[in-house]
Structure 1
Amino acid sequence: MKHINNIGLSLICLFLCLSLCACQSEEDEAINVINEIEGEDSCEIVSSSSYEYDFTSESVEDIVTTVILTYTDDASQVSYFYEWTGDHDVILYNEESEVLAASTYKVPLNMLYYDMINNGELSDTSLLYYSSESYSAYDYISSNYAIGSSIELSTLQYSSIVYSDNTASLILLNNYGVLEAYDEMYQKYAQMSFDDDFYYNNETTALAGYHIIQYLYEHENDYTQLIENMKLATEGEFLQATTDDYEIAHKYGDYGGYTHDYGIVYTDEPYLVGIYTNQVANSSELISEINNVFLNYTLWKQENSSCS
């Protein structure tokens, strides 16, 4: 009987141990769940007090509008796009407003030629003919090459972007075909189509600009030299006047009271931006100031990205 009692006592002890282990396991699981919940709740949006603008109490769109209204009493004179590639947050304003493109058309025009180089149809040493209809005074190409010359493609591409050379760009445009170039670059890079007058008048929209820069960024390995040229363009002006802390690949346009700039700002996770103005005084400063809002907004969003 003593042996049987010992066995019974052992079984009781084993049962109690198993019960304690089960309870502890359930308790540990409950603690883990609580910790997970508390971890989620503890992720608080970082204050924007260390930035120039208060993004916790006012939308970035309202802040930009306030900036615009310090330059003009008509906000419709400005259109813009913004996308942070970290979360693909896209902001568009007056994006379908048609404006004179000025020199911004030179980016997609050059993209067409880089596509031909990548496809083996041309090389960067291919020669393009400089006709009289491509002449524009006071440019690098018109000052250094005679009408009737044949000029290397790489020279034209560099001058077109870095110097915003109108002669170089017209040589590219006329050798491709004016309507053919405009039609293809808008359909291919912007997935948009316009009538012939839109093309002949060299018009654009912020929405078209957004799609072009988005395409450029998403296919940047196909356009490495173009992007490097854009980083050298009008250094320290327009979008680049905002900061020296980050590289900015951009292309401005300025003609007939229309002043624009668009490109890529290389923060840790870059953002795409384009700002278009129509008859706004001190527009280059306005472009820089709007970009400063977007730069601060991007840095603030990056700091808070773990909470999204």
Structure 2
Amino acid sequence: MKNDGKKKRRQVDFIFACTILGLLVLIIICLFVTMFQHASQSKTASSSTSKSTQVSTKSSSTKTKTSTKTKSKADKETDLQADLAEMDSLGLYYDYANLSLEETVKAYMAEFGLAEDSVAFSYKDLTTGKTASMNDTQPMTAGSTYKLPLNMLVVDEVAKGKLSLTEAFDITNTTYEYIGEHNSYVSAFDGAMTIPQMQKFSLVYSENTPAYALSERLGGMEKAYAKFGRYGKSKGKIKTIQQEGNKTTTDYYIQVLDYLYTHRKKYKDLLYYLKVAFPGEYYHGLIGDNLTVAQKPGYVREALNVGAVVYEEKPYIIALYTKGLGGATEESTEINGVGYYQLTQLCYVINEWHRVNMN
């Protein structure tokens, strides 16, 4: 009996111990499950935050690439003050930072008593696409500015394999404007010129004989003028450049310059010639030669013009056409000195406005 009691007590103790042990195991399992769930939630939250951050960063990056920073008024004033001494020395101080380009040009014209229709221009900033213009569909005498789209047409034919850059073409019977100039070219080049030679002398020196020689590669001037619409068309009545009367608009010519710059790899040789043309003159007149400018001036009778790609910190293109500056008329046979200086002043004013507002 005594042994049976002890045996029963040991059984109870064993059952109690097993129960306690089972409870401890259950508690440990619950703790592990809780910790695992917490870790899993933390990982998911971290992953979600990381993805959210990546999306946010990507969105911010995209926004930065597509947004255009507007120059602050303070920065404009800083640049204005930096050039103030030069402006004052030239007598060309205007409220560049607070005026539009058209308003600035009109302020210059009012100060020097220029007629409202004596200046036409079209401008485009090549970084932002910002444009400005004045009298842009008004017919203006093109002068030698036609030689740029003429040269572009010839480059197009070379690119198609229809013309050779190494072949020397006969120029002895080429159409000419001045017999003396024509004879000089025939003599200097032994009666034949290559296309690169024609390009150089028609753009760097703006000579007429090599320009006529280029046109003959296209079937003559009439056929060449008929193709000028390849580079754009004005919204005015005169769509490109009229051969008869030599009239055009800045609205057309700015499109020529835009096409030239857009396809600058194709027309790299032309841009080189334009960059070395007329050093110290026209757009370089008051600005100087330190600024790279690919320019094609045009002068005849009452007209003084320049079309240019200006390589400022932010490049821009400008088609600037004038008439009657300095009292020049359609009967004038020489460049009017006062008118020419006024053209260089206009170039300075336009460039300074760009420097202050767009650079």
**For this structure pair, what is the TM-score category when the shorter chain's length is used for normalisation?**
0.7 to 0.9
CA contact (8 A) 1:216 1:223 kept: yes
Per-residue CA distance 1:53-109 (angstroms, 9 max, x = gap): 877644344334333433444343212122222233333332111110011111112
CA 1:66 to 1:25, structure 2 compared with 1: closer, same or farther past 3 Å? Answer: farther
SS of match in other structure, 1:69? helix
Aligned ranges 1:64-83 → 2 under 5 Å:
64-83=105-124
SS of match in other structure, 2:161? coil
SS of match in other structure, 1:276? strand
Q: 1:6 aligns with which of 28, 33, 42?
A: 28
Q: Distance in 1 between matches of 2:76 and 2:214?
A: 46
Q: Distance in 2 between matches of 1:59 and 1:91?
A: 8
Verify: 1:90 aligned to 2:131, yes or no.
Answer: yes
TM-score normalised to structure 1 length:
0.77
SS of match in other structure, 1:145? helix
CA contact (8 A) 1:260 1:287 kept: no
Amino acid at match of 2:226: D
- In structure 2, the partner of 1:50 is 78
Q: What is the alpha-carbon root mean square deviation over aligned residues?
A: 3.8
Verify: 1:279 aligned to 2:324, yes or no.
Answer: yes
SS of match in other structure, 1:87? coil
CA 1:174 to 1:14, structure 2 compared with 1: closer, same or farther past 3 Å? Answer: closer
Q: 2:162 aligns with which of 106, 121, 124?
A: 121
CA contact (8 A) 1:238 1:284 kept: yes
Q: 1:162 aligns with which of 196, 204, 213?
A: 204
Verify: 1:253 aligned to 2:298, yes or no.
Answer: yes
Q: Distance in 2 between matches of 1:203 and 1:196?
A: 8
SS of match in other structure, 2:319? strand
Q: How many angstroms does 1:117 deviate by? A: 2.9
Verify: 1:106 aligned to 2:142, yes or no.
Answer: no
TM-score normalised to structure 2 length:
0.68
Q: How many angstroms does 1:264 deviate by? A: 1.4
Q: Distance in 1 between matches of 2:170 and 2:102?
A: 45
CA 1:224 to 1:298, structure 2 compared with 1: closer, same or farther past 3 Å? Answer: farther
- List gaps (5 residues or longer) in structure 1: 301-308
Q: How many angstroms does 1:201 deviate by? A: 0.8
Q: How many angstroms does 1:259 deviate by? A: 0.9
CA 1:18 to 1:113, structure 2 compared with 1: closer, same or farther past 3 Å? Answer: closer
CA contact (8 A) 1:134 1:170 kept: yes
Q: How many angstroms does 1:45 deviate by? A: 4.4
SS of match in other structure, 1:273? strand
Q: How many angstroms does 1:235 deviate by? A: 1.0
Higher relative contact order (CA closer than 8 Å, sequence separation 6+) = 1
Paired residues, number: 295
Aligned ranges 1:264-303 → 2 under 5 Å:
264-267=309-312, 270-281=315-326, 282-293=341-352, 295-296=354-355, 299-300=358-359
CA 1:162 to 1:196, structure 2 compared with 1: closer, same or farther past 3 Å? Answer: closer
Verify: 1:143 aligned to 2:171, yes or no.
Answer: no
- List gaps (5 residues or longer) in structure 2: 1-22, 81-93, 327-340
- In structure 2, the partner of 1:203 is 247
SS of match in other structure, 2:78? coil
Q: How many angstroms does 1:228 deviate by? A: 1.4
- In structure 2, the partner of 1:305 is none
Larger radius of gyration, structure 1 or 2?
A: 2
CA 1:274 to 1:89, structure 2 compared with 1: closer, same or farther past 3 Å? Answer: same
- In structure 2, the partner of 1:230 is 274
Per-residue CA distance 1:219-246 (angstroms, 9 max, x = gap): 2233222221111211122223325344
- Once the two structures are aligned, what percentage of the paired residues are identical? 21
Amino acid at match of 1:122: L
Q: How many angstroms does 1:164 deviate by? A: 1.3
Per-residue CA distance 1:166-223 (angstroms, 9 max, x = gap): 2333444467423222112x22222469599932111111011111112222222332
CA contact (8 A) 2:238 2:249 kept: no
